Amino acid sequence: MKIVSTKDGSHTVIHDVLGEHYHSIHGAMQESQHVFIKEGLERHKDKSKVKVFEMGFGTGLNALLSCEYAEKNHVKVEYYTIEAYPLDVEQARQLNYPKLVGSKEMFNNIHDAVWEECIKLSANFQLMKIKGLLESTDLSFIPKIDVVFYDAFAPNSQAHLWEPPVLEKMYTLLNSGGHLATYCAKGQFKRNLKAVGFEVEGVPGPPGKREMTLGFKP
């Protein structure tokens, strides 16, 4: 894995096998804030408790931003995330996110949290990291979710994660009235969302992307 800087000064990581960036080179922090906080958590700002499922724990940036959101807004966030190939913890500690948002202690606690256990990291933020492949991991133990952060690698790298069987799994996981947020705006992906029951909406994307996608469960 190689750590590189993006246009907003925040780091991203390049996957050494797929050659894919974990976050946008146009601004890792800006992308996560826009796609998963603004168009994810903030769409449930009327709730005192929000349950999140993240596909792709990756660098831990989305979890850190969600923790910060929970603390600033006094909202209880239950955060579930799955990752098949976790970053080395020592490498994760080299990422500069705590210099830009949150705290180094919280970021370290997120990465140090034991896998497969619910860990209360603050008064308002509870984390459970699950190690496994999304397509083959039983998620039936997870309570109904309000928002899915769908942060898989792009369809040209991991096409199966953008196909109906996996998207149906996300649909089943969601509460009625919940939604899925993702940076992807490809036409076939939107058609796949509709095929499993989602109501699809395209909204303005983060820097470097004209559009992103939201999928709502009626």
- Which helix or strand (DSSP H or E) is residue 18 part of? none
Q: Please, is 181 exposed, middle or buried when counting C-beta atoms within 10 Å of its C-beta (0-12, 13-18, 19+)?
A: buried
**2 confidence band (pLDDT: 50, 70, 90):** very high
> Which amino acid is present at 84?
A
Residues 30-53, mean pLDDT to the nearest whole number: 97
Q: What is the CATH number of the domain that holds 82?
A: 3.40.50.150
Residues 118-128, mean pLDDT to the nearest whole number: 97
Tell me the pTM. 0.96
Q: Please, is 111 exposed, middle or buried when counting C-beta atoms within 10 Å of its C-beta (0-12, 13-18, 19+)?
A: buried
Q: What is the pLDDT of residue 48?
A: 96
Find the domain containing 210 and state its range: 2-216
Percent of the chain with pLDDT over 90: 95
Q: What is the pLDDT of residue 158?
A: 92
138-159 confidence digits (pLDDT tens): 999 999 999 999 999 999 989 9
pLDDT at residue 1 above 90?
A: no
Nearest to 60 by CA among 40, 78, 79: 79
pLDDT at residue 76 above 90?
A: yes
pLDDT at residue 190 above 80?
A: yes
pLDDT at residue 184 above 80?
A: yes
Maximum CA pair distance of the chain?
A: 43
| Number of neighbouring beta carbons within 10 Å of residue 157 | 13
126-136 confidence digits (pLDDT tens): 999 999 999 99
CA distance 54 to 76: 16
**122 confidence band (pLDDT: 50, 70, 90):** very high
Count of domains forming the chain: 1
CA distance 205 to 213: 8
pLDDT at residue 115 above 80?
A: yes
Nearest to 78 by CA among 46, 56, 54, 98: 54
Q: What is the pLDDT of residue 102?
A: 83
pLDDT at residue 17 above 80?
A: no
Residue predicted with more confidence, 15 or 4: 4
